[in-house]
Amino acid sequence: MEGPDGLLGLIREEAMKVRLRNVAVSVIGSMLTRIFIVIGLLTCNSNAASLQPSETRQDPFDLQVFTLDPQGNRAKTVYYSYDQLLTLPTVTVKTEHDPNTNTPATYTGVYVSDLFEAFGADASFDVIGANSVGYYKQYYDRDYLARHRPILLLKFDGKPPADWPTTEHGDWLGPYCVVHESFSPAEAVYGYVEEPRILYGVISLELTGFTQSLGRLTPKEGGNDPEVVKGQKIAAGSCISCHKLGNVGGTQASWAVLAATAVTSKDNFRKRVIDPQSMNPTSHMPPHPTFDDNTFNALEAYFKAMMSIE
């Protein structure tokens, strides 16, 4: 805890900042003011690129960030406050359709691609994973980040997370959320079309490498078969956010279960993927009505190649 002297120092420092801002406003037309403004901007950018995390959670809205070791296990965990995240360079964009609330919205947040530098990640980390309170996960590799520019949401319609709305299913969007200003699919494989990697209820981010995350989805054998490659793309885009492969992916049924079902119970697998609620009315799995025979043939070839992984 801060001692009285330390706290007094912080108060004095904040008071000095206020006085400096007031001085800057009062002499806005002078060269001295312009110099102050430039210095202030440079200081802000410097702070944004070198956030100092805490080793313990200080507030419920602190964002947990952890790094993974080469084996994919947690190596270090730190926390960044909401106020710290607001010091990063932000973008404000409008969307005609927020997919979580089905309403127009104004997003203010930080490009996920900027978080590597903000969190001091070295070059070995090229993927950011987002984990939600609902035990779902999304991965953002550098290719996806460059194509689609996802945003870590800090304000929804100008409001902080505590005042964010709920989804159409009644779930709270916070404490954090990953959104897109707009989304245009960059690839399609048979009946599969790339979907936006949105995620609400985000409680933590992980810094990892491609080999420890999405690279785990590559089969040890048969990886050069064109249909297996196509099936891997479909599975990476449709399955990994909910289903798990070791310590990769969501927490629903494992890759081994998916593989066994796809290979040995093809009819049930296809029915469950196309219309999961017809098999289980309480299922939260999204339907995939556009998946055709070619799509399933590729998926089944992929999962057959993956059966020896787990």
Radius of gyration of the chain (CA): 23
The confidence score (pLDDT) of residue 169 equals 83
Q: Is the pTM of this model over 0.95?
A: no
The listed range with the strongest mean pLDDT (83-97, 256-270, 271-285) is 83-97
Q: Average the pLDDT over 211-237 and give the result.
A: 92
Percent of the chain with pLDDT over 90: 73
Residue type, 198: I
Phi, psi values for residue 302, rounded to 5°: -65, -50
The confidence score (pLDDT) of residue 73 equals 87
Greater confidence (287 vs 29) lies with 287
2, pLDDT greater than 60 = no
The confidence score (pLDDT) of residue 15 equals 35
The confidence score (pLDDT) of residue 18 equals 35
DSSP-based three-state secondary structure for 87: coil
Mean pLDDT computed over every residue of the chain: 85
Phi, psi values for residue 44, rounded to 5°: -60, -45
The confidence score (pLDDT) of residue 308 equals 64
For β-strands 74-80 and 243-245, DSSP reports them as unpaired
Whole-number Å distance between alpha carbons of 279 and 241: 20
The confidence score (pLDDT) of residue 49 equals 53
275, pLDDT greater than 70 = yes
59, pLDDT greater than 70 = yes
Whether the CB-CB separation of 196 and 99 falls below 8 Å is answered with yes
Whole-number Å distance between alpha carbons of 35 and 274: 62
pLDDT, tens only, 23-40: 343 433 443 333 333 333
Which own/partner contact pairs does 290-294 have at CB distance under 8 Å and 24+ positions apart? 290/191, 290/192, 290/193, 291/190, 291/191, 291/192, 292/190, 292/191, 294/190, 294/191
Q: Average the pLDDT over 266-272 and give the result.
A: 94
Q: Average the pLDDT over 130-139 and give the result.
A: 92
Greater confidence (25 vs 184) lies with 184
The confidence score (pLDDT) of residue 34 equals 39
Whole-number Å distance between alpha carbons of 128 and 204: 10
The confidence score (pLDDT) of residue 36 equals 34
The listed range with the strongest mean pLDDT (7-11, 18-22, 168-172) is 168-172
